[in-house]
Each structure stands twice: as structure tokens, then as C-alpha cells.
């Protein structure tokens, strides 16, 4: 069953522009391999609500997409094992 989702992830802002762009492209491609990307919104560098790993800033990215329910577990797994990702959240959107 295909549902609408959104994911917000925070990339370590100490990485260079090329690494940040590569990570955004990596996750966009991963989502496209199993679903359809509706929108990629680059929020840019922002101050964190609380320090994560002694860092006060992160690069925020929001992606809206459609995918099978079974894909979400794989996406969350890849977020956890990818260096440079500080936090990630996937939410199912109401129709």
C-alpha cells in the first residue's frame, strides 16, 4: 500500500557543501528507487534546539514522498548507519 510520508533529517554542518549535497542526493535517490519524491526542501543551516554531539548547528532537509509501507524501515536503517546524519524522522502524513 502506497502512503504519503515526509522525512526531516539533520546533516552535520561541519561537512563541506559537496558532502551535504551528496547526502541529500543519496537519500533522494534511495527514496526514488522505492517510491516517488514530491518535494525536496533544503532549509539550510539552522541552530539546534539542544546540542547534539557537542554541535549547535545542523543542515536541515525536508523531503515529501510517496512509498510503500515496507520501505520506511529500510530508510530509517540507512539513516542510522550513514555518517554525517545527526537525526532523522519519518512521518506518515494524513490523507
pLDDT tens digits for 36-50?
999 999 999 999 999
pLDDT at 9: 97
Domain count, the chain: 1
Looking at residue 94, what is its pLDDT? 83
Question: Does residue 4 sit within a domain?
Answer: no
In a domain, 1, yes or no: no
The pLDDT of residue 95 is above 90: no
Picking from 78, 88, 85, the residue whose alpha carbon sits closest to that of residue 7 is 88
Q: Model pTM greater than 0.85?
A: yes
Q: pLDDT tens digit string along 53-73? A: 899 999 999 999 999 999 999
Is residue 31 a part of any domain in this protein? yes
pLDDT at position 1 is: 84
In a domain, 40, yes or no: yes
Candidates 29, 82, 89; CA nearest to 61 is: 89
Question: Are the C-beta atoms of 20 and 11 separated by less than 8 Å?
Answer: yes
pLDDT averaged over the chain?
95
For 50, the domain range is 24-58+71-86
Amino acid at each position: 500500500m502506497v502512503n504519503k510520508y515526509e522525512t526531516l533529517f539533520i546533516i552535520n554542518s561541519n561537512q563541506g557543501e559537496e558532502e551535504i549535497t551528496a547526502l541529500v542526493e543519496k537519500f533522494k535517490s534511495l527514496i526514488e528507487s522505492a517510491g516517488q519524491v514530491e518535494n525536496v526542501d533544503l532549509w539550510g543551516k539552522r541552530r539546534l534546539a539542544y546540542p547534539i554531539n557537542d554541535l549547535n548547528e545542523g543542515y536541515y532537509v525536508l523531503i515529501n514522498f510517496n512509498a510503500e509501507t515496507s520501505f520506511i524501515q529500510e530508510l530509517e536503517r540507512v539513516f542510522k548507519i550513514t555518517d554525517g546524519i545527526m537525526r532523522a524522522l519519518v512521518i506518515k502524513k494524513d490523507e
